[in-house]
Structure 1
C-alpha cells in the first residue's frame, strides 16, 4: 500500500505543478491515472509468470505470452485509437479504451478463477487493447491544457508509462500471496473504473474532426507483421532457427511489413503516418524510444526471473512472489520520484539531455548487474538506479515527441512512439528470455550475465542515438481551453 501512496503523491505533485499554470486538477488526475493503470495492466503479470504457469499447467514459453499477447494487442490498438481520436474526439476514445480495460480485466479474472489459460490469455489481449489511452491522453492534454502547463503534463504522462509498469510488478507478488492470482485482474478493474468515472467529467473543446476514415487494411497488416515478428523471437529456438516454421514465419513477417509500408504510403489517412518518419526529429526520437524500451523490459523481466531461481542451482535467491515484489520495490519507488523530477529537469535542460542522462545511467546500472548480482541488496540497488534512469528517460520522451510535430499531428506521433515502446518492450522481454534459456538444460548464471550486458548495450545505444535528436524547439500547442 505504501507503493500506491507513493504513486498518489507523485501524481499529486505533477497535478499541482501543472495546476499553477491553469490546468484542471480533475483533468490531470484522470489522465495520469488512466495512463498509469493501463501501463500497470501490461506488466502486472511479469513477477508471477512462473506461478501462473504452474497453476494453469502450461510451459514457460506459453506463460510468456500472457505478457507478450497483451503488449502485442497494445501495439496494434495504439495507432488505431490515435486515428479514431482524430476522427471522433479524444475524450470518446479515452472512455472506450478504459471501458475495454475494465472488460478485459473482468474476463481475465473470471478465466483465472476457472483455471483457463486460453480465457486468461484472451482477457490479457483485450486488456492490451486499452493502450489507446496513451495517444488520446496526449492529444486531449494538448487541446485542453494551457500552453504554460503543457510541458509538465506531457512529461508526467510519459513518466506514467514507466511508473505504472514498475508499480504493477511490485504489487503483483504480495497480492498473489495474500489474495491469489485473480486479484491482479480485479485490481485493474477497480482502478480502471475509477479512471473511467473521472473521464466522464472531462470536457473537450469542439474542433473540426480530421478528414478521412479508419485504415482497416493497414491495421490488419500491422497486426500480422507484429505477430509474426514476436513468434520468431519467442519460438525460434524451440522450432529451430533454420527450421521451415521459423523461416516461413520470418518471411511472413517481412512480407506483411512491406505490404504495410506500401499501403500506408498510398492511403490518404493511414493508421500510421509513415511520412512523418521522414523528418529527422521524429525518426531519431522514435529510434531512441525503440532501443531504450528493449533494454528496459529486458532488465525488468530478468531481475524477477533471476531472483526466483533456487540456490540449489548454484545461483539465484529462491525468492517467493512477495519477496520479488519487495526486491523490485526500490525500482518502483525511485521511478515514482523520478516522474516529477524528470518533468522539472526536462523544463530546465531539455528533453534530449534528460533522456541521455537516463539512458547512460541505465547502461551503468545494467553493467553493474552483469558484474554483481549474487545478493539481494545488489539487485535492489541496481534496480533503484534503473528506476531513476528509466523514470527520467520516459519523462523526456513525451516532450520530445510532441515538440517534434505540429499540434494536429499529436495523436499520430504519440501513437507511433507508443507502438515502438510497446514493441521494444515485447522484443526485449522475449530476447532476454531467449538468452537465459539454453536449448537444453536449465538457465545458467552466465546466461543472465550475458543478458544484462545485452540490455546495457541497448541502453547505451539509445543514449548515442539521442545525440542525433535536434535541439528542442518550443511546443506549438493549439489554443486550449482548461476546464
Structure 2
C-alpha cells in the first residue's frame, strides 16, 4: 500500500477541515433566506423573477453533483474538493459584486455547484481515516448538511442588518478561501480510485433530466400543475431519464453504475434518502414561519427574522454534538440500526409538535428532536453506501446519495407549499397559512419519517455487512474486488491502482458487503 493511500495517523484535523467545508457549503443554501422579501427591491426585479436566486442554487447543485462525484473517482478527491470550494469562492464574489438579477443568479448557481464538497469529502474518508474512526467521521461530515443550514439563518440576518447584504457574500467568500487554504495544507493528495473516461453524455443527460424535473416540481405551484409548461417538463424529464438509463447500462465507463445502484442495500438507502430529505426540509419550511407570523393570528409567535434564526440555531449545534454518537452506534450495531433509530426520532419530533406549537420554547424542542434524528440518519446513509460499493465507485455513489436527498428536499418544498397555500386564513387584508395547514404539514412530516424507517427495514441485515469495519468499508481485499467487479454487477476489471492498494488487506467471505 502506498503511503499516500494509507490512513493518516492524525485524521482529526482532516476530518475537521472536511466538516468545515460541508458547513460552509450548506451555509450558502440559507444565506439568502433573510433577504427574500427584499430581493425584488435590491435587484430591481419582480418577486417571481427574484425566486430564481434560490432556484438556481438548487438546480445547479443537483445537475452537477453526480458529475463531481465521478470526477473525484477519476481525478482524485483533493483536486475536486478544491474545485468545489473554488466554486463557492467565485460564486460568493460574484454575488457580492452583483446589483442586478442576472449576475446574482450566476453567482448562486456557482455556490450550488460547491455543495459537491460534502459527498467528495465523505468519499475521501475511505482512504484517510482509520476503520475505528470512520463511522463517526462520516456522521460528522454528513451532518454538516444540517449544521450549515441552521447556522446560515442567524448569520445572514445579523450581517444583513448591521453590515449590508453585500457583506453577507463577502464573508462567505472569506470563509471559502480559508477552507480552500486548509484543504491545500492538510488534506493529502490521493491517487485516483478508478480508471477510464468521464461519461460526458451521461453527465449532460442526467443534468438535463434533473433540471427539467426539479424545475417543474419547484415552479409547478406558480405555473399551475396542469399547465403545458409543467406537464411538458415532467414528460420531457421522464423521456430523458429513460434514454439516460439505456445509455448508462451500455457504456463502458458510466457516470453512475446502475447495476451497483440496483443492489438492494444501495437502492433502499437512496430511497430512504429521498424520504428523509423530505422529512428534514418540511420542518425547515414550517417552523420558521410559525415563529415569525404575528401573534394576532392566534398561533404565530411574532418573532423577528434575527430572533427566528437564533431560535433555530441550537438545533444545528446539537447535530454537531450528537453526530459522533450516531457514528459510534453504527460502529457497534451497524448503520442500518442507526438509520431506523434516526427516522423514528424525527417522527417523534414531528409528533411532539402537535402539542408544542404554542411557544417558541416548544418549537425549539421540536427542532432539536428532529435534528437529533437527522444527525443519526444522515450519518448512517453514506456509511451504508460506502460499505456496499467498490472503492472505484465511492465518489459517484456518495454523490448520487446526496442527489437523492436533494430530490426529497424539492418534493417537500412543493408538497408543503401546496398544503400551506391551500389552507389559509385572513390577517387583515393579508392571506397567511392557517394553523390547520401547519399542523397538516407537520403530520405529513411525521408520516414521511415513519415511511423512512419502514424503507430502512428493507435494507439487508447480515452479520458484518452494515458495520463500518475495516473489511466492509475501508479497502476491500482481492476477493472483494472480484465479487464487486464481477460481470453480474456490471463491473470492469480492477485497475492496477485498486489492486495495489487492496493487496495488503485480507478479507474473509463472511465480511464482504
Find the counterpart in structure 2 of residue 366 from structure 1.
350
Greater displacement, 373-382 / 178-187: 178-187
What residue number does 1:451 align with? 441
Q: CA deviation at 1:136?
A: 2.1
Does residue 27 in structure 1 map to residue 14 in structure 2? yes
Q: 2:73 matched to 1:76?
A: no
**Is the contact between residue 330 and residue 381 of structure 1 (CA under 8 Å) also seen in structure 2?**
no
The match for 1:40 is 27
Gaps of 5+ in 1: 1-19
Counterpart among 237, 240, 259 of residue 253 in structure 1? 237
| 1:228 aligned partner | 212
Q: 1:58 to 1:446 in 2, by over 3 A?
A: farther
Pick aligned residue for 2:412 from 424, 428, 431: 428
1:128 aligns with 2:118: no
Tell me if structure 2 keeps the 8 A contact 1:138–1:154.
yes
* Deviation for aligned residue 1:56: 4.1
Contact 1:143 1:205 in 2 (8 A): no
Q: Do the aligned partners of 2:123 and 2:394 also contact (CA within 8 Å) in 1? A: yes
**1:55 Cα offset (Å):** 4.1
Task: Give TM-score scaled by structure 2 length.
Answer: 0.83
Measured after TM superposition, the shift of residue 237 of structure 1 is 2.9
Note the C-alpha offset of 1:448.
1.7
Is 2:77–2:120's contact at 8 Å kept on the other side of the alignment? yes
Structure 1 range deviating more: 472-481 or 451-460: 472-481
1:187 aligns with 171
Alignment partners' CA distance in 2, 1:358 and 1:466: 10
Residues 58 and 367 of structure 1: is their aligned pair in 2 closer, same or farther, counting only changes over 3 Å? Answer: farther
Instruction: After superposition, give the CA deviation of every residue in 1:380-437 in whole Å (9 maximum; x if it has no partner).
Output: 1211111211112112222222112222221111011111122222322233223212
Q: Which of 1 and 2 has greater Rg?
A: 2
Matched, 1:94 2:78: no
Structure 1 residue 219 displacement after superposition: 1.9
Q: 1:59 to 1:350 in 2, by over 3 A?
A: farther
Query: For residues 363 and 206 of structure 1, do their structure 2 counterparts lie closer, same or farther at Cα, with a shift above 3 Å needed?
Result: closer
Q: Match of 1:70, SS?
A: helix
Q: How many residues align?
A: 459
User: 1:405–1:377: structure 2 CA closer, same or farther, 3 Å change rule?
Assistant: same
Q: Give secondary structure in 2 for the equivalent of 1:437.
A: helix
Supply the distance in 2 between the matched residues of 1:184 and 1:424 (Cα, whole angstroms): 28
**Structure 1 residue 199 displacement after superposition:** 1.3
TM-score (structure 1 length as normaliser): 0.88
| Contact residue 333 and residue 387 of structure 1 kept, 8 A | no
Given that 2:221 and 2:414 are in contact with CA atoms closer than 8 Å, whether structure 1 keeps it comes out as no
Match of 2:257 in 1: 273
Compute the RMSD of aligned alpha carbons: 2.5
Cα distance in 1 for partners of 2:404, 2:368 equals 25
CA distance in 1, matches of 2:298, 2:48: 23
Does structure 1 conserve the Cα–Cα contact (< 8 Å) formed by 2:64 and 2:113? yes
Distance in 2 between residues matched to 1:69 and 1:348, nearest whole Å: 41
CA drift at 1:236 = 2.3
Q: Distance in 1 between matches of 2:35 and 2:355?
A: 26
